[in-house]
Chains A and B, each alone.
Chain A
C-alpha cells in the first residue's frame, strides 16, 4: 500500500507524471519509454493515455505513475506536469489535475510567464519554462527530439530510471541508424544536464526499488485479456473493430494461429458473435470482444447462447455512452446492459477485472465459468484497464485450473439427450463430429432431446434448469475481496477500475484513524446476496463508488440486497476520473456525520 508522499529527505517513493502535447510532439511515446524503463528497473508503474478525437496529430496526453510499491490506479493530482503547449494540456482538464505541489515543466516558447500559468486557482511552487525545442535542435539537430529532452529532464530532476531510458533509446533507434542513437543519447544527456543546473526548490528524487525486482511484465488490459484467453484454451475469436477493445482482436490475430486457433474479423458485430457461437457449438472455446455499441448489436445472439446453453466469453471494454458516446474514455455505464439487455428470462454471469494484472485471472475464470455452466459470460472491462499500460509481476500460471465442458459418456451417447434435466442443471454437451451426440441446437425452446416445443410446462423446466445451474456461482467467495477492518461500520464498495482508487482511498482513511472496509466484487452478477449481507452486517455508513451517472451497481444491489440506509452512492460520469484523496475525504465525512437519508452523495464534486 503506498500513498503518494514526499519524504523529508527529498526522496519520493511514488511519482505521477502527466504530459500533454500535440500528436507530433511524441509525448505519448515519451511516456511509453518512461514506463518501459521503469518496468525494466523493477518499479511498479501504470500509464494511461488520452487523446483528442483526431486520428492523427490531435492533442494527446499520458499519465505515468511510477512507484516503489504496488499501485492500483493511475494516481491523483500530478506530481509532475509537462506541457509542450498549454492549449493541448488544458483540454485534458480533470485527467491532468495540477495542484500546489505539482512541479510544472513547460515549453518556454509558449510565451507563458511562470507566474501566469493558465491554471485557475493554483500556484505551484516549482515551475520551469524550459526551451525544450531549442535544446532538442541543439543536441539532436531537430525539434522532433523534444520528447527525448523531456525524458532527460525527468531523469535529471527525479532520477527516474535513467539507465533504463538509455537502454530504451538504444533499442528504439538502433533499427534506424547509429547517428540517431547518438543524437538521442545526446538529447537525453542535455535534458539531464539542464535539470541538474536548475534544481527544484523541493527535491523529489525517486527512490530506487528496494531490491532488484526487474523482469516485470508491462502490458495493457486488452493484451492481458487476449493472452489469458489463449492460456485458457481459446481457439476461436470473432471480432469487429471497435474502440477501445480492438487490441484484443489484434493480439489474437497475431498469436492465436500458433496454438491452432482462428480469428475472423467479421463483417459486423452480429456476425462476430455468431462466429464465436458457431465455434463453441463445434466444440471449441471461443470469444468475442467489443464495446457498448457493439454489445447492443450482439444482444440477440447472447440470448441464443443462453438458451442453446453454449459456452461463450464476451468482453465489453466499456467506454462512455450512450451511442457513440466517448469512445476513448472509461465509464462503468454498461452494467445494466450486461445484466439486463436482451429479452426473456436470462441470467448471465458478469465478471469485472480491477487492474491489468487481475485481468488475467478474471479472463481465465470467465472461460472456466462459461465451460462449466455452458453459458455466455461477460467480462466488463473498461477503457482505462483495457488500454492502460501497467507493470505486473510474472504470473504463476500453474495455480490456475482449466475447466472444460462436460462431455457425454459412451453410455450417455447411446440414448443422448442434450438438455437432460439434471439436478445440477448441467447436461453433458456433445459437438458435431461426435458420433451419437447428434442433436438440434436451437434458439427456440426445446425438450430434453433438443426438439422444438411450445409447451409451457417444458419452458418452465428449462428456465429453472438454466437458472439452477448458476446457483453455485453465488457461493464463490473467492470472487470477492474484502479489505480493511472487517468489523468496521464504515464501508465502501467499488468494482472495475474504480476499485483501485478506492483501495488507496481506504488506506488514506485508515491512516487518518477511520476504521473502514472495502468490498471489491469480481463477480458482479448474479448478485451474491449472502456475500453482501455479510459485508453489510453492522455497517452504518458507506459509499458505493462508481464511474457512471446513475451508479448502476448500487441500483442493482438495492433490488437484491438490504443496503443499509447510510450507504450512499458516489458517482461520477465517465472521463472524470476519481482520485483516492477525494474518495477518502467523502468517506471520512460520512464516517464522522450521523447517518442521513438515502441519496446521492453530493454529486461527488466534479472537478472539471
Chain B
C-alpha cells in the first residue's frame, strides 16, 4: 500500500475515449474522480474501480486504475469480493441510479451493513439513458417517458434517505455544476474509513429535463455548509435529505464522527486470531476416526 504525492489528475486518465454524449454530466464526474484520486495519491495499479451497466458504468475504463465493467446492478458484490481478497486496495464502485436503486437495489443495504472501506458513487440522472429514455427509480412521479407514456404512477426512491437509514457512515451529494466541490466531496468520501456514498446529480443531456441540466443546477444548488448543517448531525441530515427532488443540496449530509471498525479490519483480525501453522495438506486430519 503506497501513496505518491506527485500523482496528478492526468495520471488517472486513460486513453480510452468516452462514448458519452457531448454535454453529459459524467464528463465532469470522471474529471472530479481524477482529481480526487490524485488528491488521495494511491497509484492507479492499487485501485480497483468496479461498475455495473449503464452509461455511467463505462467510467472505470476511462481511468488508468484496474477496472471492472461488470453486469447490471452487481458492482457492489464484486467490489466487496475484491476488498475481501485484498483489503489493501482502494476500491471504488460506480454506476447509475438504475444500477444502484433498481436492479441492484438489494445489494446496497447489505454493503452498508458490512461497512467495507469502499466508496460508492452513483451518477443519478433520473432516467435510463443507455436504453433510450425509460423511467428510472429516481424519476419524479408523473414523468412521461417511453415507458410511462402518460406519466408514471410511482414515487421516486430517495437515495440519500435510503443510505442514511441503512446506517451508512458517509453520505454526500454533488453536481458537476460545482466541479471543485464535487472533487473534494469524492476525495473526502474515499478518505472516510468505511462505506461511503456520494450521490451525484449528473444530468442526462439527451433524455433529461431542462430543469435537470447543469445550467439549472447552478442556480438550484445549495451547499449544506451554507445552510449551517453540521455533518455530524445525523437527524439533521435526515431532514435535509428528505428534500431530495425538491432541493439540490451539495456537500456532506452525514459523516460518522466515530467511524466503527470496517469489515476489512474485522476479517483481517479474524484471520490473524485464527491463523494456523498447520499446512493446507493436513486439512483432512480432522476427519480421521480413531
Contact = CB atoms under 8 A, between A and B. Distances in A.
Contacts of B70: 274, 277, 304, 308, 441-443
Contacts, number: 202
A223 interface: yes
B84 A262 contact: yes
Contacts of B66: 431-432, 437-441
A278 interface: yes
Contacts of B80: 264, 271, 274-275, 278
Contact of B81 (A238, A258, A443): A238
B69 A440 contact: yes
A216 B290 CA distance: 8
Contact of A257 (B44, B58, B82, B274): B274
Contacts of A277: 70, 78, 81
Contact of B276 (A258, A266, A303): A258
Contacts of B89: 282, 432-433
Interface in A242-272: 255, 257-262, 264, 266-268, 270-272
Interface stretch (B145-153, B178-186, B215-223, B280-288): B280-288
B131 interface: no
B276 A259 contact: yes
B67 A440 contact: yes
B19 to A, nearest CB: 8
Interface stretch (B45-53, B190-198, B205-213, B249-257): B45-53
B6 to A, nearest CB: 15
A216 B287 CA distance: 8
Interface stretch (A112-120, A129-137, A391-399): A391-399
A281 interface: yes
Contact of B85 (A274, A286, A308, A398): A286
Interface residues of A, number: 72
B82 A397 contact: no
A278 B43 CA distance: 20
Interface string A378-396: 0000000000000110110
Contacts of A261: 271
B71 A279 contact: no
Interface residues of B, number: 55
Given A274-B78, A282-B89, A262 B46 contact: no
Given A259-B276, A304-B71, A281 B81 contact: yes
Given A274-B74, A443-B70, A264 B86 contact: no
A443 B53 contact: yes
Nearest to B1: A433
B93 to A, nearest CB: 10
- Per DSSP, chain B at the interface is helix
A442 B280 contact: no
Interface string B45-77: 111101001000010110011111111001011
Contacts of B69: 440-444, 452
A435 interface: yes
A255 B69 CA distance: 32
Given A230-B280, A432-B45, A40 B290 contact: yes
A279 B289 contact: no
18 contacts: A257-B273, A259-B276, A261-B271, A262-B267, A274-B76, A277-B81, A278-B84, A281-B81, A282-B81, A301-B71, A395-B284, A398-B281, A431-B66, A434-B45, A436-B45, A438-B44, A440-B69, A444-B69
Given A40-B290, A433-B45, 5 more contacts: A264-B80, A264-B81, A266-B110, A439-B66, A440-B69
A-B pairs with lowest CB-CB distance, top 6: A278-B81, A274-B77, A282-B85, A275-B81, A278-B78, A271-B77
